Amino acid sequence: MARRFSIFLLAFILIFPHISYGHEMCLYSGYRINKNNDLTPLNIKGEKKVILITIDDGPSKYSKDITDTLIKHRAKAIFFVNGIHDKANPGRIKEEFDLGFTIGNHTWSHINIKKEQNNDIINKEIDSNTKLITKITGSAPRFFRPPYGVINTYTKDLIKKDNMLFMNWSGSNLDWEANTKDEKIFDANVMGGLHPGEILLIHEHSQTAKYLDKLLTMLEEKGYSFIDPAQITE
């Protein structure tokens, strides 16, 4: 009996430090979204030189090219989808989810919430998209991004009630502008304002699919890593 207790005690001594270390590391890994739309580590020892990649307005014919590039760089991301595009691109949302990417709510048809006066329409735009995402993935979306980055108090309260985190952005390649078809401008729009904790906005556009691989390589060469959205807790 004494021998068994000694073995148990020895095992506990050997294993406990690893349990503590794992718990400690877990504490370092969480992030919150601050008022500047950047990510801040919850713990002072958390990694600060991180970027969250977010991709809006899918699914699209460029979805697979974008996910292939992200996988190549082992980069997680949030795909903020509009349900209206699902019919023309069937199966894409499910593929993104199955590959380990996070699916966010970007409203059903990309309405300007700030200009919409009818709350019933806002409800339908958000709820319809949530239902589609839940049906496809089996999980309700955790993140909400309003089209054009504009929102009102009613919608903020609504998404909070639906247990979604509001997420804007703090950096972008500005790929909605025609001049970003020039790769140098595309890259400069990101690299010029690059900073730790950045939430990077890109879209499912042709130039993004074409230039994303090189852009991610440039970010890695600057010492940045790509955060997993699961690490964002508040």
Query: What are the φ and ψ backbone dihedral angles of 86, each rounded to 5 degrees?
Result: -65, -40
Residue 54 falls in which region: left (phi positive, over 0), alpha (psi -120 to 50) or beta? beta
Strand pairing report for 31-33 and 171-172: unpaired
Peptide bond into 59 cis (omega under 30): yes
- pLDDT score of 185: 98
Instruction: Output the pLDDT for position 46.
Output: 85
Q: Answer for the pair 224, 51: CB distance below 8 angstroms, yes or no.
A: yes
Tens digit of each residue's pLDDT (9 = 90 or more) over 89-116 = 999 999 999 999 999 999 999 999 999 9
What is the value of pTM for the model shown?
A: 0.87
Does the residue 119 lie in any domain?
Answer: yes
Q: What average pLDDT score do residues 135-152 get?
A: 97
- In this predicted structure, the answer to whether residue 24 has a pLDDT above a threshold of 60 is no
* Position 66 confidence tier, pLDDT thresholds 50, 70, 90: very high
Query: What would the pLDDT profile of 146-194 be if each residue is shown by its tens digit?
Result: 999 999 999 999 999 999 999 999 999 999 999 999 999 999 999 999 9
How would residue 145 be classed by pLDDT, with cut points 50, 70 and 90?
very high
**What sections of the chain are H helices per DSSP?**
2-28, 63-72, 92-98, 119-137, 153-161, 183-191, 206-221
Radius of gyration over every alpha carbon of the chain, rounded to an integer in angstroms: 21
Domain count, the chain: 1
203/57 Cα distance (integer angstroms): 6
| Residue 61 three-state SS | coil
In degrees, rounded to 5, the angle at the alpha carbon of residue 132 between the alpha carbons of residues 126 and 138 is 120
pLDDT for residue 234: 82
Q: Is residue 1 situated within a structural domain?
A: no
In a domain, 18, yes or no: no
Q: Which long-range contacts (CB under 8 A, 24 or more apart) does 117-122 make?
A: 119/154, 122/154, 122/155, 122/158
**What is the pLDDT, as a whole number, of residue 55?**
98
- Tell whether 23 is covered by a domain: no
Residue 98 lies in a domain: yes
**pLDDT band at residue 230 under the 50/70/90 scheme:** very high
* Average pLDDT estimate for 29-45: 92
Is 4 among the domain residues?
no
CB distance 121 to 96 below 8 Å: no
Question: Minimum mean pLDDT among 27-41, 50-64, 80-94, 128-142: which range?
Answer: 27-41
- The domain of 173 spans 31-231
**Mapped to the 3 state alphabet, what secondary structure does 163-178 carry?**
CCEECCCCEECCCCCH
Query: 174 in a domain, yes or no?
Result: yes
Instruction: Say what the pLDDT of residue 45 is.
Output: 83
Average pLDDT of the chain? 90
Q: Is residue 93 part of a domain?
A: yes
Which pLDDT score, from 0 to 100, does residue 44 have?
A: 84
Residue type for position 224: Y
Residue whose C-alpha is closest to residue 29's, from 52, 51, 45: 45
* CA 156/CA 166 separation, integer angstroms: 7
Residue with the larger pLDDT of the pair 191 and 24: 191
Residue 127: CATH number of its domain: 3.20.20.370
